[in-house]
Amino acid sequence: MSMEWTKSRNESIGPVLLDRQTIQNRISELGSQIAGDNQGKTPHLIAVLKGASIFHADLVRAMELPLSFDFIAVGSYGTLGTSSGEVRILKDLEDDLESKDVLLVEDIVDTGLTLHSLVQNLKRRKPLSLKIVALLNKPASRKIDVPVDYIGFHIPDAFVVGYGLDYDQRYRNLPDIHILDFGK
């Protein structure tokens, strides 16, 4: 189930769910796979700030082919988990997408609402193709079906932090991915 993660002052870093070596091994595999699928192309990666920044930085270095990238930042209109799921663009792309093979790089797909809305937005910009890579997938929380082409790890419905993922803007710099302990 999906839930609203209310801000807690008692939270603490819980056990490691995915350690740094496990993450790097999987990113090497993803990088080779995506590079293989893009032979002869110059994909244009779009990393979703801020959460995907660290994953993106490692992923591009695991892709041995010419590419370009850009960044976008989005926020939801309501709180996390609201049904509208409409995203607000906080920082837009610099480059247009026409005639580009776009690969959207996300940190985590939870309800899928953010990604769904973002995909609709990007499709209106007429890319040649649009694929999605997400480091983490929480299938149990999905509210809307979004086809994700490449997934790093399927994880249980827990709140995780580290390796770019935050809780109230903190913990992004943890090298491993941890379960956050809300101490209730």
Q: How far apart are CA 114 and CA 80, in angstroms?
A: 9
| Active site (annotated) includes residue 181 | no
Residue 128 Cβ vs ligand IMP, minimum distance, rounded to whole Å? 25
Contact 79, 107 (CB under 8 A): no
Among 112, 127, 152, 162, binds ligand IMP (CB under 6 A): 112
- Asked whether position 16 contacts ligand IMP by CB under 6 A, the answer is no
Residue with tokens 């959207």: 104
Among 159, 176, 181, 182, binds ligand IMP (CB under 6 A): 159
Question: Among the options 110, 149, 168, 181, which is catalytic?
Answer: 110
- Asked whether position 108 contacts ligand IMP by CB under 6 A, the answer is yes
Q: How far apart are CA 129 and CA 15, in angstroms?
A: 39
Would you mind telling me the total number of residues written for the chain in this entry?
184
Among 107, 137, 163, 174, binds ligand IMP (CB under 6 A): 107
- 16 CB neighbour count, 10 Å cutoff: 15
- 51 CB neighbour count, 10 Å cutoff: 21
Residue 131: φ, ψ to 5°: -125, 165
131: exposed, middle or buried (C-beta count within 10 Å: 0-12, 13-18, 19+)? middle
Measured from the CB atom, the residue of 38 and 177 that comes closer to ligand IMP is 177
Measured from the CB atom, the residue of 38 and 134 that comes closer to ligand IMP is 134
Among 16, 62, 65, 80, binds ligand IMP (CB under 6 A): 80
Please give the residue ranges that form the binding site for ligand IMP (CB under 6 A).
Answer: 51, 80, 107-115, 159-161, 165
* Residues with catalytic function: 110
